[in-house]
Amino acid sequence: MRLVLSVSLLLCAVVLACGDDGEQWVTFPHEIKVPVESALKIPTGKIINHPDFLRGDLVLFKSATVKVQSGCLNDLTDCLPIHVCKPNVQAAPTKYESLDAVCTDVPGNEDNTNIQNVTEKMGFTVELNTTDAIARVWIKAVEGQGDGAVLTLVYDLLN
């Protein structure tokens, strides 16, 4: 009986520390470099080498600068909200010096599902597609442009 209980507890611990597909979760806060035209699974830090809306939490695109899109539940019409941290709707995004300073506002229905012009030092919160959580994200750096653009993200989970 003790062996069965021990094995059950071990399996529960493994499931909690891993994503649905068995990928190990990262420790938070986590810093990662993500290239454009890819997707990121936030809990595991896995980078998908194409813009996969259905399996990623964030999708990065090249545009005039860099665009960030949230993941989508079932199709491209069912994407999750991103809350850009700023004093009011009309204001420019607030610049932060670290992840700790980024807002912890929960994204809502009034928020967009993408950020058209990502800039260094901005912060946002996003509802995750891969797990039932909200992440707080800080854009530490934006390097390069076009196909060669890479974002350095620092993030943690709020719940």
Domain limits, the chain: 26-157
Return d(Cα 35, Cα 72) in angstroms, integer: 19
Ramachandran region, residue 119 (left: φ > 0; alpha: ψ -120 to 50; beta: rest): beta
- What pLDDT sits at residue 18? 52
Long-range contacts, 141-144 (Cβ 8 Å, 24+) = 142/65, 142/66, 142/118
- The encoded tokens of residue 34 equal 């993500």
Return d(Cα 150, Cα 137) in angstroms, integer: 15
- The encoded tokens of residue 145 equal 């442009």
Whole-model pTM? 0.86
- What pLDDT sits at residue 26? 98
**Apex CA 126: angle with CA 125 and CA 131, to 5°?**
130
- Report whether 41 contacts 48 (CB < 8 A): yes
- What pLDDT sits at residue 21? 65
- The encoded tokens of residue 146 equal 């076009």
Sequence-distant (6+) residues with CB within 8 A of 37 are 50, 51, 60, 61, 62, 147
- What pLDDT sits at residue 105? 97
- What pLDDT sits at residue 36? 97
- Report whether 99 contacts 156 (CB < 8 A): yes
- What pLDDT sits at residue 65? 82
- Per-10-residue mean pLDDT for the chain, 159 residues long? 36 46 92 98 98 97 90 94 94 97 96 94 97 97 92 96
CA of residue 99 relative to chain centroid, distance: 13
